[in-house]
Amino acid sequence: MTEESQQGPSKPLIDSAKRMPMRNLLALVAVQAVGLAVILSVSWLLEGDLSIVATLLVPPLVSFVLIVAQPQLPSSRPLRVLGAYALTGFLGICLSILPWPATILGVMAGATALFFFYLFGVFHAPHLPCPLPRSWPAMSWQMSLRPMAS
């Protein structure tokens, strides 16, 4: 009988991760909420008559949360994030002006996003949602956030 079988079909798992103290957790959420409010306020100022702003807004919101939550990761370093947004944002926006179906553009955007994810090790790429205005032409940023809240 092996040692493993003597222990039974299941072993108790010990989670060695340290939990964040509640006070620190509340401070983190509060400060991040202020940051999100600033980004949303800037979006409101930039939106004007451009419905495309809605699809440009979601990736920065996600990136902000990820960077603050895991600042020690190499992918959170400022110039990597800036480089990823500069390159893949340009590609995504250029893809979006092609007169092809949104599904095809979305798949192409996803594939190029994955390529640059793995090539540069930067897990922030904003251009996947860029082709979406073709599908949701009248979407405002409030509508774009609705799926995130549900």
Partner 1 sequence: MAGYVLADVPKAYGILMIYTVLVIGLAIVTNRVLGYRSYPDKWW
List residues binding partner 1 (CB under 8 A).
24, 27-28, 31-32, 35, 38-39, 42-43, 46, 50-53, 56-57, 59-60, 63-64, 67-68, 71-72, 74, 76-82, 85-86, 89-90, 93-94, 96-97, 126, 130-131, 133-134, 137-138
Contact 126, 85 (CB under 8 A): yes
Nearer to partner 1, 74 or 146 (CB): 74
Cα separation, 139 vs 148, whole angstroms: 14
- Would you say 13 or 138 has its CB closer to partner 1? 138
How far apart, in whole angstroms, are the C-alpha atoms of residue 39 and residue 60? 8
Q: Measured from the CB atom, is 7 or 26 closer to partner 1?
A: 26
Please check whether residue 116 is in contact with residue 75, taking contact to mean a CB–CB distance below 8 angstroms.
no
